Amino acid sequence: MALTITNIRVIKTAPQGNQQLIVVKVETSDPGLYGVGCATFTQRAAAVVTAIEEFLRPFLVGWDPQRIEDIYQAALTSSYWHSGPVLNNALSGVDEALWDIKGKLANLPLYQLFGGKSREAADLYGHASGETFEAVAESARWLLDQGFRHVRAQVAVPGYATYGSRGGGDRVWEPAPYCRVVPRLFEYLRTHLPEELELLHDIHQRIPPISAIGLAKDLEQFKLFFLEDPFAPEDNDYFPMLRAQSAIPIAMGELFVNPHEYVPLVRDRLIDFMRVHISDIGGLSVARKLAAYCEFFGVRTAWHGPADVSPVGHAANLHLDLAVHNFGIQECTIFNDANREVFPGTPEIRDGYLWANDRPGLGIDVDEAKAGRYPWPDQPLRGGWAPLRRADGTISRQ
Beta-carbon contacts of residue 206 (< 8 Å; ≥ 6 apart): 163, 173, 175, 178, 396, 397, 398
Active site residue 111: no
Nearest CA to 185 among 149, 140, 150? 140
Q: Cβ distance 212 to 248 under 8 Å?
A: no
Question: How far is Cα 93 from Cα 312, in angstroms, rounded to an integer?
Answer: 10
The active-site residue, picked from 72, 111, 160, 163, is 163
Helix (H) or strand (E) holding 338: helix 337-342
**Burial bucket for residue 59 (CB in 10 Å: 0-12, 13-18, 19+):** middle
First to last CA, the chain: 51
Question: How far is Cα 114 from Cα 84, in angstroms, rounded to an integer?
Answer: 26
Question: How far is Cα 251 from Cα 258, in angstroms, rounded to an integer?
Answer: 17
Active site residue 127: no
Question: How far is Cα 209 from Cα 242, in angstroms, rounded to an integer?
Answer: 9
Q: Cβ distance 85 to 257 under 8 Å?
A: yes
Report the 10 Å Cβ neighbour count for 30: 15
The active-site residue, picked from 204, 304, 314, 319, is 204
For residue 112, which phi and psi values (nearest 5 degrees)?
A: -70, -40
Catalytic positions: 163, 204
